[in-house]
Amino acid sequence: MNEIGTVRQAKGVTRRELLIGVGAAGFALAAGPVSADRITTSSEGLIVADITIMGGKDKIPAYEARPSSPRAYPVILVIHEIFGLHEYIKDVTRRFAKEGYYAIAPELYFREGGVSTLPDIPAVIKVVEKIPDRQVLQDLSAVVDHAGAQSWARADRVGATGFCWGGRMTWLLAAHEKHLKAAVAWYGALGPWRGRSDEARPKSALDLAEQLRCPVLGLYGGADEGIPLSDVQAMEAKLNAHQKAGEIVVYPGTPHGFFADYRGSYREDVATAAWKRALGWFAKHLKA
């Protein structure tokens, strides 16, 4: 039986702004003051590696993690934020591995030299605006193919999750990749990226709702200044109208980036609840 999309209002949480004024090596410029709540996940009991994946003639850098016990595990692609593949995304990759997945996170800005050394967010956006969705989706499909070919991977149980920019790409990948069985999009834009469509980004998540190939869980903050609640409601309506398996959860009073424990936007209670919900979603569709 399909689970038809529904927007659920989750319980609010107490606002927390615990910041310390120090930098952290390995984080993108997004970190700024690093949150006192930053999570560090050990690689104990895991096999982790920096690898390269062939995408056509290009070598895509990636970080992978899986349990050390020799068996085949469901696969989860971890799609980074606008700030690229930095330590927070690697930590999330290890978190999924701790839960019994082969998790793999590609660096999708490698052709542009990455963005971690850029001076500010406008400079990052200037780079990212030039990267076409088509190229990103091709790279992600190459990662899916690579993962599925590994002896420790379940090629028939592949999921994807992404944050912010990666949340948007998660929706797009769910409409593009035939091997995807489940997806979780964290506060990814649903309408046109930065309010407009162009040659690089011709379609929004809302435009592609009818084409979704797998169940998608969307996790959103009710106080997200960059994603209108009207877009979230519109996606819920489209999921219902097209009989697509999916669910959208909105956490009232919660900002964008509530899961990013290295930033001031982090909300521990919401992040914990949303993580549990994401794990449940993947368990249902990739492990059942």
The residues annotated with a catalytic role in the active site are: 164, 224, 256
What is the number of other CB atoms lying within 10 angstroms of the CB of residue 273? 17
- Contact between residue 228 and residue 195 where contact means Cβ atoms under 8 Å apart: no
Q: In the structure, how many helices (H) and strands (E) does the chain have?
A: 6, 11
Give the distance, in angstroms, between the CA of residue 13 and the centroid of all CA atoms in the same chain.
23
Backbone angles phi, psi at 22, to 5 degrees: -135, 155
Q: In which region does residue 48 sit, left (phi positive, over 0), alpha (psi from -120 to 50) or beta (all else)? A: beta
197 close to 177: Cβ distance less than 8 angstroms: no
